[in-house]
Structure 1
C-alpha cells in the first residue's frame, strides 16, 4: 500500500479489525519512510458479469431491468413479492457463481425462464413467448405440451354424484 503522504510504497500494518457484520476490514498502517499513520478499509466488491446481447453489443447487468421483466410476466398472477425477490436472488447468485466476466443474454434468459417455471406456469409462457419470439400459435402449443408433460399429474376431482 502506497503512503498517501509521501507516496513511498513501504507501509506496515499496525492494527487490523473487522466491523460487526464481518464484511469490512479496517487496517491502521504506518509509513516506514515518513512515519505517518493512515487507515485503509477493505470490502468485498462483487461484480456482475456484462450481458452480451444477440447482436454482439455489451451492456451492464441491470437488477431493475430483470425485476421489471419478471414483474411484467407475473402481472396479475398470484405470486408474492417475496417469491420474486427470492427468484431474482437465485439468478444473481448463479451469475456470480459462474465467475464469468460476460454472459450471453440467452443464458440469462434461460435462468429467468427456469425461475418463472417454478413460480408460475402462465408467467413462464408469457416470458418465453417474448424471449423466444414465437411466430405462431403452434410454438405456444409446443411450450404448453412441454409444460404439461413435465407437470405432476393432479388427482381428478370427482363430479357430483360419483
Structure 2
C-alpha cells in the first residue's frame, strides 16, 4: 500500500480524471518547489480502485481537506504557513494558490529548513528558530487584518 501512495496510485483512474485532479495539480505549486515529479506522474492513467474507494470519503471531504472544496471564493483572508520539509507543504501551497485564483487575499510563507509541526518547537531548538520569526509575521498580519 505504501508504494501505491508514493507513486500516486492510491486513487482511481476515475478520480485522477475528475475535477478533483485540478485541485491538486502540480501547476498550482510555485516552480521553485516542484522538483522532479516524474515518478509521481508516470501512472496517471492507473490507480488502485480498492484503495481509492476506501479513502475517497476522507480525502475529498473539504472539512478534512479544505483544498478539496469546489469553490474557495468567499473564504476569509489567510496567512498560509508551510514548512520546507513537510509532506503537506504542496497541499498548503496549492490551497493558497486556489484561494488567490478566486480573489481571496492570501499571504504565503514557506519556512526554510523546517518540518511539519515546527511551530510547536518555537525557539526551544535552534534548528527551528524560524518559528519565532513565523509567529511574528503572523501576529503582524493578524493585527493588520483586525484593525
TM-score, normalised relative to structure 2: 0.31
Between structures 1 and 2, the one with greater helix share: 2
Between structures 1 and 2, the one with greater strand share: 1
Question: Which has the higher relative contact order, 1 or 2, with Cα contacts under 8 A spaced 6 or more apart?
Answer: 2
- Which one has a bigger Cα radius of gyration? 1
